[in-house]
A and B are shown apart, each in its own frame.
Chain A
């Protein structure tokens, strides 16, 4: 009788569906826990040690974070990441919106245009980097040859301290325009035609329709793009590694490049973990600030 009661209790404890659920979510939760949750949390622990794979691990408290302040290269990388982000985002968003509005209107070959603009988005950043390395080659590159036709002298591009980062920005805008385009397109299709028709009846011209209907309707999307592209731009790594490896003279070393160098070339993993937490805090701060600003914007409007 005791066992019967216990069995009934057990049944009341876990329903049939709950038993099935355990089996169904187990693989997912296992992989997420082992390869996402535990690593993310434990990186905070590593950032407080001098972990390096080879040497004996020692607790160093906030020493790694203190060291960051004196690390010239880290400051340099922060500046470079901010430079890249500030160059990339306005250009990507503006060109993405422009292209989206053009390919959204009633034009011929609309779908072909969309496909063409989206091509670089499905291509790996490393492959794009290789192509652009070749295009921007100072001696045999197509870009210098094209500029030569209109009388401009060959430029050093990626081999120049002043032109390297702008070159990477240009490549990134070129590569990312399709992605902003497709997101803006979804937004544009969500704006009801009746709004534009009403505006036309009221005598609004094209610019006014754009300024007072299109832009405000797209504001949530612009905010989404702003937040996601800040997060993405601050984490640029592939093109930096493949095209310049942070050079020339550290002109293009970014935060993730520094984390990679410290963690996997010098095996200062504790220090690299501290750097990745600083990056995380920056991204969190920027995202929150962005959302806040937008909320104030909505309120004041």
Chain B
């Protein structure tokens, strides 16, 4: 009898304890959601504020306390950004530069990756180490000499064959594109991926007398779309967002990229927040859209880099 009650109260206590644990867990979970949602909101508010500001009429922007929701939205800031702010030219320039850089880089990097993974040649591994080493160097070290190499490009921008007399590739599309080509890190990614493809594929093709160019373009490349997508996305994003190099070599409006356009506009009209936010939205849209559309490639890219524990 006594043992019975003891057992009963024991199990009742256990049940009550379990109930309380469930309850604590639910509260903790709710608290977690609350904090995470607050953090996520703080991530989104700056972007939302940029977009709201870009559509609000001037007099609403400068109301204090700030008006969060208004009914009088306008496109005038975007129109002014494109005309008065010349953001049409800047946007086009950024697109041309990032587009060409991405396409050319894809070709150069995949060819290099092919040579480093599918072909046998003397000095291959040593050369690959050199290529990797360039990815480790901070680009800043090369900044000043690269500027001079671009300035003294022979037969460009009024230069003679020795690179004297003109401005070379300064303030030009090739100057913005060419020095950014051939990233060591992208070669590494591509080589890793190419190495995973089965050897038999190309051995059979070689026996049949297929040239290396055909093996590369018709067998290896079509099988490597994921890694090529990753490299393209990362290259485009890096090129679109690049700032220091364009800042150093661009002098005219005609060549200014959108990142440069933003800093210039801000230094000239430091209170035109509506137009500045419209320009900022234009500078933000392509990479954010690319990210949202190609999310899985971003995740794959991070996995491919081999940072796994």
- Give chain A's interface residues, CB within 8 Å of chain B: 15-18, 20-22, 24-25, 27-29, 31-32, 34-40, 42-43, 46, 53, 99, 102-103, 105, 107, 113, 115-120, 122-128, 130-135, 137, 139-140, 142, 145, 148-149, 174, 177-178, 182-183, 186-187, 190-191, 217-218, 220-221, 224, 231, 235, 237-238, 241-242, 256, 259-260, 263-264, 269, 272-273, 276-277, 279-280, 283
Contact = CB atoms under 8 A, between A and B. Distances in A.
Contacts of B283: 124, 126-127
A279 B307 CA distance: 26
Contacts of A17: 119-121, 212
A133 B287 contact: no
B284 A235 contact: no
A220 B309 contact: yes
Contacts of A277: 141
A119 B47 contact: yes
Contacts of B290: 122
B112 A28 contact: yes
Nearest to A154: B64
A131 B46 contact: yes
Given A40-B134, A119-B47, A135-B46, 13 more contacts: A17-B119, A18-B121, A18-B122, A27-B107, A31-B178, A117-B43, A122-B237, A126-B283, A127-B262, A130-B280, A190-B309, A241-B243, A264-B247
A263 B143 contact: yes
7 contacts: A25-B116, A37-B134, A124-B259, A125-B241, A127-B280, A221-B309, A224-B307
Interface string B95-123: 00000000000011101101110011110
* Contact count band on B: 35 or more
Nearest to A103: B36
Given A24-B112, A135-B49, A238 B244 contact: yes
Interface of B: 32-33, 35-36, 39-40, 42-47, 49-50, 53, 61-62, 64-66, 107-109, 111-112, 114-116, 119-122, 124, 127, 130-131, 134, 137-138, 140-149, 178-179, 181-182, 184, 187, 211-213, 216, 237, 240-241, 243-244, 247-248, 259, 262-263, 266, 273, 276-277, 279-280, 283-284, 287-288, 290-292, 295, 298-299, 302-303, 307-309
Given A242-B263, A276-B143, A145 B112 contact: no
B241 A259 contact: no
A279 B288 CA distance: 32
A28 B111 contact: yes
A27 B108 contact: yes
B137 A20 contact: no
Contacts of A35: 142, 146, 149, 178-179, 181-182
A38 B66 contact: no
Contacts of B121: 15, 17-18, 21-22
B207 to A, nearest CB: 13
B46 A43 contact: no
Contacts of B107: 27
Q: What are the 8 tightest A-B residue pairs by CB atom distance, in nearest-first order? A: A28-B112, A190-B309, A39-B145, A124-B241, A39-B142, A24-B115, A20-B212, A31-B182
B251 to A, nearest CB: 11
B51 to A, nearest CB: 10
Contact of A107 (B36, B47, B213): B36
Given A36-B142, A259-B140, A115 B66 contact: no
B288 A122 contact: yes
Contacts of A264: 147, 247-248
Nearest to A256: B140
A186 B127 contact: no
Contacts of B216: 24
Contacts of B50: 130-131, 134
Contacts of A128: 46
Contacts of B142: 35-36, 39-40, 43
A226 to B, nearest CB: 13
B27 to A, nearest CB: 14
B65 A145 contact: yes
B182 A28 contact: yes
B141 A102 contact: no
A29 B128 CA distance: 10
B247 to A, nearest CB: 7
B273 A187 contact: no
Contact of B47 (A22, A34, A131, A186): A131
Contacts of A273: 144-145
A238 B242 CA distance: 9
B301 to A, nearest CB: 10
Contacts of B46: 128, 131-132, 135, 174
B79 to A, nearest CB: 19
Contacts of B116: 25
A32 B184 contact: yes
Nearest to B295: A115
A127 B122 CA distance: 47
A174 B141 contact: no
A267 to B, nearest CB: 10
Contacts of A191: 309
B66 A31 contact: no
A134 B50 CA distance: 8
